[in-house]
């Protein structure tokens, strides 16, 4: 389980670099080229006959889908970045919903541009955008890792709280036992004999405290280690 989270973190680092330094610049350049062609009817990616032709509705739709892809990729990337760092279980549903909205828009624009991309579309755009989309909706996605991580955090918090309650109860019981020993010391009539008995009692109390403390620590460490062993 822990290995899967670590692998996911490494994969996200690689995807983050490719998104920021390859995908977003490629979409931006394609969008600029398509905008220039729509506005002027000229394009360095078309021959003179193509560039002087009448603009069709398809050209405007290409521009719209490129603009939509730029926005949805940016939103999807930001949401995945949050998902890869989130530890608050209360926010998982909201993060997943935000990414789903961006993913749907991404998917529609990728599908349209795959069929009607035009010469202004950078060939790196669609593979990189599809890779980002897959990171959020595919098998072992960032959304799945987010749910796994936040559930582990939630469980750990519950166990820490339960251990704290157990420790507080043991502390109260030990305090009561120590108070009883002190009372016996104060009221003992046979000081010499009682001193030896009280000494044994105090040693017993100390031993009990040590054993209980050791068990609590061992149990807590075991609990912390279980998520990793479960993998």
Residues 63 and 120 in one domain: yes
H helices of 87-190, in order, are 92-116, 125-137, 142-187
Helices and strands per DSSP (H, E), number in the chain: 8, 0
Query: Is 8 inside any structural domain?
Result: yes
For residue 140, the model assigns a pLDDT of 75
Show the low-confidence residues of the chain (pLDDT under 70).
1-8, 48-54, 181, 184-231
For residue 202, the model assigns a pLDDT of 64
The pTM of the full predicted model, rounded to 2 decimals, is 0.66
Q: Count other C-beta atoms under 10 Å from residue 147's C-beta.
A: 18
Q: CA nearest 231: which of 157, 161, 145, 136?
A: 145
CA separation for the pair 207, 15 (Å, rounded): 55
What token pair was written down for 16? 């983050």
For residue 230, the model assigns a pLDDT of 37
What token pair was written down for 184? 């016996």
Query: Is 145 inside any structural domain?
Result: no
Residues 135 and 59 in one domain: yes
User: How many domains are there within the chain?
Assistant: 2
Residues 209 and 100 in one domain: no
- CA atoms within a 13 Å half-sphere pointing along the CA-CB vector of 93: 1
For residue 166, the model assigns a pLDDT of 72
Q: Count other C-beta atoms under 10 Å from residue 82's C-beta.
A: 16
What token pair was written down for 107? 């998917």
For residue 227, the model assigns a pLDDT of 45
For residue 158, the model assigns a pLDDT of 73
Q: Among the three residues 117, 140, 163, which one is the final residue of a domain in this structure?
A: 140
* DSSP code at position 54: P
Residues 168 and 133 in one domain: no
Residues 169 and 135 in one domain: no
For residue 177, the model assigns a pLDDT of 72
Is 80 within 8 Å of 12 (Cβ atoms)? yes
Residues 92 and 8 in one domain: yes
What separation in angstroms does the CA of 50 have from each of 3, 45, 56, 75, 92?
A: 54, 9, 12, 35, 49
Residues 104 and 25 in one domain: yes
Residues 164 and 131 in one domain: no
For residue 188, the model assigns a pLDDT of 58
For residue 186, the model assigns a pLDDT of 66
What is the span of the domain harbouring residue 173? 154-230
For residue 228, the model assigns a pLDDT of 40
Is 2 within 8 Å of 229 (Cβ atoms)? no
- CA atoms within a 13 Å half-sphere pointing along the CA-CB vector of 178: 10
For residue 57, the model assigns a pLDDT of 87
Residues 109 and 165 in one domain: no
Terminus-to-terminus CA distance in the chain, angstroms? Answer: 4
């Amino acid at each position: 389980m822990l290995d899967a989270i670590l692998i996911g973190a490494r994969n996200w680092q690689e995807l983050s670099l490719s998104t920021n330094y390859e995908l977003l610049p490629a979409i931006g350049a394609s969008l600029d080229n398509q905008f220039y062609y729509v506005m002027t009817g000229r394009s360095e990616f078309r021959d003179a006959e193509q560039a002087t032709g009448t603009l069709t509705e398809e050209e405007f739709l290409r521009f719209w889908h490129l603009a939509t892809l730029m926005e949805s990729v940016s939103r999807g990337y930001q949401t995945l970045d949050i998902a890869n760092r989130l530890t608050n279980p209360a926010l998982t549903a909201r993060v997943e919903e935000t990414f789903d909205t961006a993913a749907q828009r991404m998917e529609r624009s990728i599908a349209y541009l795959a069929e009607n991309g035009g010469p202004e579309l950078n060939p790196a755009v669609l593979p990189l955008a599809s890779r980002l989309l897959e990171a959020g909706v595919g098998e072992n996605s960032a959304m799945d890792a987010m749910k796994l991580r936040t559930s582990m955090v939630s469980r750990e918090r519950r166990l820490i709280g339960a251990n704290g309650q157990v420790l507080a109860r043991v502390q109260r019981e030990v305090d009561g036992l120590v108070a009883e020993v002190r009372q016996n010391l104060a009221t003992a009539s046979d000081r010499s004999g009682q001193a030896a008995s009280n000494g044994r009692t105090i040693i017993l109390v100390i031993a009990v405290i040590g054993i209980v403390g050791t068990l609590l620590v061992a149990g807590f460490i075991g609990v912390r280690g279980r998520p990793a062993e479960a993998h």
